[in-house]
Structures are given as structure tokens and as C-alpha cells.
């Protein structure tokens, strides 16, 4: 049998495809009724919102101010708070010469002296060495010998101190040098008596 020559079949498609093949420009899309209704509704909503904002901004704030301006029932005192303005001018001072003036310096309750013991040694040379270490720290120490139940001891003392700040300074310096101190309270010695 003889072959029949068939022509290629043309595809049928969308009009867009036909238009692109033919080279013709496509037509602009048309506005539908739904699009027009949406555009009109948006315009109306925008106008109403603008009018509402303008109306709200022009409202007087009288009610809010009236509430803030009138505090709750408070009673306001109009008189002076302090009465010494009236009392002081009416006072009289009695300057009797028989009255003695007050002593401005308070009497010292405690006449005791405070010392710091910086060491207690069996040998005087050890006590003298400790006194030299304290001299290097800028502290003036003294050595006192004393007899105890278990023999003779040489004690190294700092003080007596004129103020607490001097004593605190001495304690700080000795603590930084790893020297233990012992705070001692000693009654003052009457003149002529030596310990």
C-alpha cells in the first residue's frame, strides 16, 4: 500500500497563542463591574474615615478638663503650718548673772589609755627586733620587761594613742605586716609612779 502524505496538524489553542503567532498586540483588559464596585467602596470608606477624624479632633476637651480641674473634696488650710512665728516673739529671756554657763566640753568618762601589744618574747633581742620592724613601718614602739608565773617576758607596745584613728592606723599597718596585736586598756599612772 501506498503511504499517504499527511499534512502536519495545526494546533488549536488559546487566542493569546494565535495573537502572539500573528504578531498582533493584545487588547487591554477591561474593567469589570466588580472592580468598579470595589473602587467606589474604598473611596467612600476613605472619605468617611477622614471626616470622622476631622470631627473627633475638633471636639472640645471640656469634660476631661472639668474632671481634672475639680479634685475630690479636699480641705485646704489657709493658716500657718508652724506656730513658732507667733511663739518666739512673745518669749522673754531671763539673763540672770547668777546662772553659770554650761561647760561646752563634755567631761571625759574614761581616763584609761589604750595600748596595742605587738608581741611578747622570752629574749630581749627578739623584742628589740620586733621594735625595729615596727620602726620601719613608721611606728614608735616601746619594750617593757615583766615577771610572770612562768618567768621573765619582754613585751612590745604601741601607744598610748591620742585618738581612735591613730590606733586604727597602727592596727592596719601591723596587720599588713602579718603581726598580731592585742588591744590593752591601762589606767593612767599618777605622777611620780613608774611601772
Residue 167 is part of a domain; what is its CATH number? 3.30.70.1070
Residue 191 confidence (pLDDT) above 60: no
160 assigned to some structural domain? yes
pLDDT digits (tens, 9 = 90+) for 1-22: 555 555 555 555 555 544 445 5
54/98: higher pLDDT: 54
145 assigned to some structural domain? yes
**What is the reported pLDDT for 19?**
47
Write the burial class of residue 162 (CB in 10 Å: 0-12 exposed, 13-18 middle, 19+ buried). exposed
102 assigned to some structural domain? no
80/30: higher pLDDT: 30
Residue 29 confidence (pLDDT) above 90: no
139 assigned to some structural domain? yes
137 assigned to some structural domain? yes
Compute the average pLDDT of residues 108-117. Answer: 79
Residue 120 confidence (pLDDT) above 80: yes
pLDDT classification of 44: cutoffs 50, 70, 90:
very high
Total number of domains in the chain: 1
Residue 90 DSSP symbol: G
**What is the reported pLDDT for 75?**
66
**What is the reported pLDDT for 189?**
67
Residue 166 confidence (pLDDT) above 70: yes
Write the burial class of residue 91 (CB in 10 Å: 0-12 exposed, 13-18 middle, 19+ buried). exposed
**What is the reported pLDDT for 5?**
56
Please report, for residues 84, 109, 110, 111, 139, the alpha-carbon distance to residue 114 in angstroms, rounded to integers and kept in the order given: 47, 14, 11, 10, 15
pLDDT classification of 134: cutoffs 50, 70, 90:
very high
153 assigned to some structural domain? yes
Residue 24 confidence (pLDDT) above 60: no
118 assigned to some structural domain? yes
Q: What is the mean pLDDT of the chain?
A: 76
The set of cell numbers assigned to 134 is: 615596727
Q: By residue range, what is the domain housing residue 176?
A: 113-186
Please report, for residues 135, 157, 171, the alpha-carbon distance to residue 139 in angstroms, rounded to integers and kept in the order given: 5, 10, 10
pLDDT classification of 116: cutoffs 50, 70, 90:
very high
134 assigned to some structural domain? yes
- The whole model's pTM is what? 0.42
Amino acid at each position: 500500500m501506498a503511504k499517504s502524505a499527511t499534512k502536519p496538524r495545526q494546533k488549536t489553542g488559546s487566542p493569546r497563542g494565535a495573537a502572539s503567532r500573528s504578531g498582533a498586540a493584545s487588547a487591554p483588559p477591561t474593567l469589570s463591574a466588580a472592580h468598579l464596585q470595589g473602587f467606589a467602596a474604598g473611596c467612600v470608606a476613605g472619605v468617611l474615615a477622614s471626616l470622622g477624624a476631622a470631627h473627633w479632633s475638633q471636639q472640645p476637651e471640656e469634660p476631661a478638663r472639668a474632671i481634672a480641674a475639680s479634685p475630690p473634696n479636699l480641705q485646704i488650710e489657709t493658716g500657718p503650718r508652724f506656730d513658732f512665728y507667733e511663739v518666739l516673739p512673745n518669749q522673754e529671756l531671763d539673763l540672770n548673772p547668777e546662772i553659770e554657763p554650761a561647760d561646752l566640753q563634755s567631761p571625759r568618762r574614761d581616763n584609761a589609755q589604750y595600748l596595742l601589744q605587738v608581741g611578747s618574747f622570752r629574749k630581749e633581742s627578739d623584742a628589740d627586733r620586733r621594735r625595729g620592724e615596727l620602726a620601719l613601718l613608721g611606728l614608735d614602739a616601746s619594750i617593757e620587761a615583766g615577771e610572770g608565773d612562768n618567768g621573765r617576758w619582754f613585751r612590745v607596745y604601741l601607744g598610748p594613742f591620742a585618738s581612735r584613728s591613730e590606733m586604727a592606723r597602727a592596727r592596719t599597718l601591723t596587720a599588713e605586716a602579718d603581726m598580731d596585736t592585742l588591744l590593752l586598756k591601762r589606767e593612767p599612772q599618777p605622777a611620780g609612779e613608774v611601772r
